[in-house]
Amino acid sequence: MKSLSEIDTVSKRASRASGFDWGVAEEVGKNIRMLEMLGLAGIKNLNYYYRIREKKNFEKISLIDKENKITQLEYCPIIAGVSFLDQVRSLENLNEITFKNIAYPILFLPFISRASEVLGRKIFLKIDNRNFLLNYNNSIYSNSLNNGIITIGNNIVIKFLENIDSFEENEWKELYKLSEKTFVEESESLKQSGAGAGLTDND
């Protein structure tokens, strides 16, 4: 089995050899390492993308908009990802961003995951019928366990989610009430002696 360190180094070097700047290649190394650690097909997708990249041109988007579509070429997932990650603080206000035709979108995914960490917000990513919930770059929840190669994402939607609870207030209250059963009712003497601080402010 390859170590993550080997995966990082080889992906970085291969990215440089494929024509990316060193700083971008460094990003790819970290991303593929992350994908493989989470059990997603980073190496496979990268390998196939670099193979096809030798023969085919891809659109290098530098400024991301609310809607990003081109008619002729597919977007390079790496340049689109780097641009998204770099610009995410200003993109956050757009709430939802769409792309048409990103090649090998699994390679785009880790950039979005890292953007979630940068913003401290969960991000929902939809690649055609595959949904991914990106949790601050700590974990990824998905309905797609397909570990193969995805050559293109035709419709990609990115939504910045509000940091809200996943439960109702009454559910919280019910659980809280149960948790209160671990507390001790304070008698007068416990009130006097149990706390470390004084009984009045500024005493």
Partner 1 sequence: MKVKLREPDTVMKLSKLGSFHQSKLSFLRSFLKEFKDWEYKRDLFELNEFGHGIAVYSFKKDDRVYSLICFANELNEDERSDRVIATKWDAAFTLHDGVPTSKDIERLKNEVPKQEVGRLSYKELTLSRANKSVRIFNHVVESLSEGRQPDISLLSSVGYLYRTTAVYGSGKFGLADRFRIKDRKEIYGPFRLEMMLVYLVRQFTFDQVNHVAKNKNPKKAVKLDPEICRNLGIGNSTGLGMAPFIVNHPTLLNNWVLARETVLKKIREIKQVEKKDSDLFKEYLKRSIKNITSWNTESEYQQKKIKSLLRDLNNFIRFIDKEIIFSNDFAFNEIYLWLEKNSGDECIEYIVSMMMEPYDQIVNPLINKMSSEEDQYFNIPTNRTVQELKKILEDRYKKILKIDFSKNENNQNFWFISKNKEEPRLANRFEEKGSELEQPLAIARDIHKLYEVLEVSKNSSTIDKFLSKNNNLRHVVRRAFIVEKFPYSEIQDNTICKSIVPIDMLRLKLSFFGALKFDPRSDKWLRICMFQGAPLPEQLKSYDDSWVYNSLN
DSSP-assigned beta bridge partners for residue 125: 132, 158
Instruction: Give the one residue of 15, 45, 68, 83 binding partner 1; rule: CB under 8 A.
Output: 83
Provide the minimum distance between the beta carbon of 46 and partner 1 in the complex, in angstroms, as a whole number.
18
Q: Which among 100, 56, 106 has a CA at the least distance from the CA of 81?
A: 106
92 binds partner 1 (CB under 8 A): no
If 0-12 CB within 10 Å is exposed, 13-18 middle and 19+ buried, where does residue 171 land?
exposed
Residue 36 to residue 44: CA distance in whole angstroms: 10
The minimum distance between CB 57 and partner 1, in angstroms, equals 18
Minimum separation from the CB atom of position 160 to partner 1 (A): 16
Closest distance to partner 1 from the beta carbon of 102 (Å): 18
Within 10 Å of residue 101's Cβ, how many Cβ atoms? 20
Of residues 38, 44, 53, 87, which one binds partner 1 by CB under 8 A? Answer: 87
Which residues sit at the interface with partner 1, rule CB under 8 A? Answer: 1-6, 13, 21-24, 26-27, 30, 62-63, 82-83, 85-87, 89-90, 114, 117-118
